[in-house]
Every structure is written in structure tokens, then in C-alpha cells.
Amino acid sequence: MTLYAGIDCGTQGTKVVIVDSDQGVILGEGSAAHRLISDSRGRREQQADWWIAALIAAFRQAVADAGVDAQQIKALGVSGQQHGFVPLDKQGNVLHSVKLWCDTETAAENDQLLQQLGGVKGSLDQLGLMVATGYTASKILWFKTHHPELWARLHTVLLPHDYLNYWLTGERVAEYGDASGTGLLNVRSREWDRRTVELIDDSGRLWNALPPLKSAGSCIGTLRPEAAETLGLAPATRVSTGGGDNMMAAIGSGNIASGTVTMSLGTSGTLFAWSDAPVVADSEMIAGFCASSNGWLPLICTMNMTSATTSVQTLLQEDIAGFNELLAQAAPGAGGVEMLPFFNGERVPQLPHARASLHNLDSDNFTRANLCMAVVESATYGLRYGLDLFRQQGIEAREIRLTGGGARSAHWRQIVADVMGCPVVCLHVQEAAALGGAIQAMWASALADDPQQEASALLASLCQRFVSLEESTRTQPDAARQAQYEELYQRYLQRLQQAYPEVQL
């Protein structure tokens, strides 16, 4: 029995899976929740030590669930929420609570940086993508501006998954896929971009704080003795490069070749495909990230998915089952209730200062069921907006593989199929990012043992073995509802442009 572990540090919690590579099965799973620091100014932060505590708890739970000796785990891979800014001093202390991907407090700093780059076109020319408020770059500028005394101690800039790797191994390194979401990497050449870095800080401090970059498929080291003892692992346990949660979910959903589209109905909504070359998009809203499988990962991200539905669920004091029961009671169109679900601002379309709003209410349609339907429909329309951008780039969706908590709802799956006009299917393993971490750990460990192997073929064989579709969830669009939703989506776009005339349709 040869075991591997995959770790996914997301916004809402950390998840761990233990995989047996000999049998090709997941033996155990564990999870632990995270708290969130937030306010009305757009602040969205977490403490880095919360992640470590959650990692330890989830790891121990997964090992217990698997009923195995943790000493048998050969390697592990870490997935992490993208774009977070973890500033370390020379001794490795975290200097500030971590600003997350969904933090919009740095919108002014992002506008300043984008203007210095020469606007959208200048950013695309310089980096291959447009810097967005959620990216790491504006968080760094905010930190420098608002905390000069802490800035003076900055030694290393890490992303969330990099920080977990640092805690595990003591190595301060980054990986191309996750690094491409900082707004500091040239995604075409896979190098830190010095000009952009010096627009933020020309003293050399930031440039020297950027960690060395590692390619996917490699190991960054073995465990520190303290980490090994805490987790019950052997010190010789390897740690792969890991990557951002979207990059790891791509591996965990088998999205490592052209033709597959993955859609995540998680805290945020994401839509991504795979490319063997850098993506030069017509729309700056398509992020041409690097993949964590040595390719590229064109991606659309909306800020409001289950984060929006959870807000309504909490308001109505319903659990998930109750929310889905209410959803089933409502008809398409929610009785005319319309929502713009921008509880966290929005990235696609680019509306960082937007706020959520309800429209077209009357005494008959203002019901609990219609409120649930309106938030699900509007969140789904956000990803339809992104899918249309993909289609304009020639990226076709023949089948959409669904991940994330929202995908567990049969009612939501049907809405997605009808709105997108495309079949959808879930994965047998819902925790695609954690599974992707485990698969990457197997891949990197095998290449470390035998560097002569053909890397892409090896990864393809691992994905074929471990990634399977849950055919019972396959959902086809209903022709009548698809036509109805086409009209409803166009009505949503009209409402969107009425509220925000700057949106390009």
C-alpha cells in the first residue's frame, strides 16, 4: 500500500484526502472550518495560523477515517485559495492578517497600478493578463501604503498554498500556476515581471521578497521534523509544488487537455479550460493563468456563488436541505424577482464596488422560495456571462464538469444545464482540488524517482485512473426551460446594464 495526501486550504475550510495509489481509491477524508474577518469596506481576511490549525485537525481526521498508519504516506500536495497575500519577515513570522482573493478593500490601489501599466491594454501587453482587484499585487501596494513599519520588515511574499508548503518544509518557494494570479508574473514567459514589481516598489525590497519559481511536477522538499511529528508523518515524506485551488481542481477533474471545461460552484464561481499555449484573449476578463500541469489555464472567476446563496440561507435561517426544498418550490424566473448578487463586489464583470440588490418585488412574488431561486439564478447567470466570453474565444463547452458545494444540489445542476445550454456532470470525488493535490504529489514523486518518464503521459494516466464521473448526476438541458432561461438571462443583462452602464455586453 502506497499512500498520498492531498490538502486543499480554501476560504471556508481546509480539506484533506488520503489516497491509495495501488488500489486507486480514496481511503479517508477530513475537514476543518475557517473563520473570516470582514467588514463593509470590502475587507476579507484570515489569520494564517488558522490554516495551520485547520490543516492539523483535518489531516488527523482523514488519517483516522482511512484507518491507516500516517507513516505510510509517501508524499503530499497542497492546494490553496488563490491571490492571498502572506507577508513574512526574515524569521518567518507573518506580518499581517492575510488579505484574501475576495478582498476588495484594495480597489483604489489596483486602479493606481493598472493606470501605471497603461490601462487594460498595457497590462495585457506587459503581463498577458489584466491586474484585477482580487489579485495579490494591489494587496502588496496597500500593505506598503498603510503599514510602512511592517513593510520595512518584509522579507518574503507568499501565497496561501506557498505558506502551507513553508510550514511543512521550511522552503520559501512559489509555483507557476498560483504565481500567475499575483499580477506580478509574465504568464507567457513564466517569470516575475520586474517592471510591474518596480511600479509598486523600486527600492528592491519587493523584488528580493519574491520567492524562486518551481515548475509543476517537481517536489520542493521533505517535511520539517516539527511538521512531521505534528502530523505523524515520516520526515522523508515529500511535498510537491502544489498550486492554486483552481489549478489543482483542474488536475482533480481531469482537465489537463483541450476540450474539457470545469465549472466550480464554490464560494466563488469559476470556469476554466486547458491550453497548451498562452491564451491571448480578446477580453481582459479572461485570466490567462498558467496551469499546475505545465500548460495554461484560461479562467473566469465570479466573486459571488455559494457566498451569495449562503447569505440568503442564513437570512432565512435554513440549513442546506431546507434551502434546496425552497428552491424546488420556485419556478424559473422566481416569479419575476430579480437579483444582482454582488455581495462581495464582482470581478466578471469588473465591478469591485458593486453591491447586491433585489428588483421587481411585489406583494405576491416576495416569498422565501423566490428569494432562493433568485440568488441561485443570478449567481448562475454570472458564470453564463463568463461562458459566453469563452465561446467568443473559440473555447467550446461540449460537457461541463461541476465541482464545489453548489454542485451537490440536483436543482442547481438542472438550472446550470438549462442556463448554459450544455450537459453537466459531477465528479465522483467532489473535493477536486484536494484530489488534484494528491494526484500531483504522485506525479511529482514518480518523476523524482524516475526523471526519464514522459511527464504529460504520466499525469494523463494518473488522472484517467483517479478521476471518474458520477454518471447519476449527469443532467441534460431541458429544451423548453433552456429557451425560457435564454429570455430570463437577457433580462438579467438588461438589469445589469441599467444598474451599471459601464458593463460591456
Q: Which three cell numbers stand for residue 276?
A: 497548451
DSSP-assigned letter for residue 73: E
* Residue 214 to residues 14, 296, 447, Cα–Cα distance (Å): 24, 15, 14
Element housing 282 (H / E): none
Q: Which of 357, 321, 317, 351 is nearest to 339 (CA)?
A: 357
Helix-then-strand count for the chain, H and E: 18, 25
Rounded CA gap, 172 and 165, in Å? 8
- From the number of C-beta atoms within 10 Å of its C-beta (0-12, 13-18, 19+), residue 320 rates as middle
* Residues across the chain: 505
Rounded CA gap, 299 and 271, in Å? 6
- From the number of C-beta atoms within 10 Å of its C-beta (0-12, 13-18, 19+), residue 421 rates as middle
Q: Which three cell numbers stand for residue 461?
A: 494516466
DSSP-assigned letter for residue 292: T
CB 98 within 8 A of CB 48: yes
Rounded CA gap, 294 and 463, in Å? 15
Q: Which residues pair with 32 in a beta bridge?
A: 14
Q: Which of 324, 416, 354 is nearest to 379 (CA)?
A: 416
> Residues 50-55: contacts with CB within 8 Å, 24+ apart?
51/9, 51/14, 51/160, 51/163, 51/164, 52/164, 52/167, 54/9, 54/13, 54/14, 55/7, 55/9, 55/14, 55/16, 55/164, 55/167
* Residue 240 to residues 5, 289, 445, Cα–Cα distance (Å): 11, 20, 7
Q: Encode burial over 275-309: b for 16+ CB neighbours within 10 A, e otherwise.
A: beebbebebbbbbbbbbbbbbbbbbbbbbbbbbbb
Instruction: Give catalytic residue positions.
Output: 245
Q: Which three cell numbers stand for residue 188?
A: 507567457
For the beta carbon of residue 460, count every other beta carbon within 10 angstroms: 15
Rounded CA gap, 116 and 131, in Å? 11
Q: Encode burial over 31-41: b for 16+ CB neighbours within 10 A, e otherwise.
A: bbebebebeee
